[in-house]
Amino acid sequence: MTTPAYEVIVECPNCGIEFHDWVRNSINLSLGETWTDDDIEEAFSVTCPECGHRESTGGLIVEMPTRL
């Protein structure tokens, strides 16, 4: 299961402002959804609207092995 996005409150480590953003804890690639590298980076990071600093929140990517 891909976890739903949820809202977080973040204090930017670069400029110190507090802002709201959305993140996910995991993405399951075996469900047939199409995720680009940019989509995955967006799902597992927050970006400060003031200074543009991007911080990774980590995350888990699950992919079932294919059978031959």
- Whether residue 63 is predicted with pLDDT greater than 90 in this model: the reply is no
pLDDT confidence band for 68 (50 / 70 / 90): low
- For residue 47, what pLDDT is reported? 96
Q: What residues contact 31, with CB distance under 8 A and at least 6 apart?
A: 1, 2
> Span 19-41, mean pLDDT?
93
Residue 16 clears pLDDT 90, i.e. is over it: yes
Structural domain boundaries of the chain?
6-62
Cα(2)–Cα(30) distance, integer angstroms: 10
Q: Which residue has the tokens 């995991």?
A: 26
SS3 (DSSP) at 29:
helix
Confidence (pLDDT) at 67: 64
